[in-house]
A and B are shown apart, each in its own frame.
Chain A
Amino acid sequence: EIVLTQSPGTLSLSPGERATLSCRASQSVSSSYLAWYQQKPGQAPRLLIYGASSRATGIPDRFSGSGSGTDFTLTISRLEPEDFAVYYCQQYGSSPGTFGQGTRLEIK
Chain B
Amino acid sequence: DTGVSQDPRHKITKRGQNVTFRCDPISEHNRLYWYRQTLGQGPEFLTYFQNEAQLEKSRLLSDRFSAERPKGSFSTLEIQRTEQGDSAMYLCASSSGTDHQPQHFGDGTRLSIL
Whether chains A and B associate is no
- Interface residues, chain A, with chain B CB atoms under 8 Å away: none
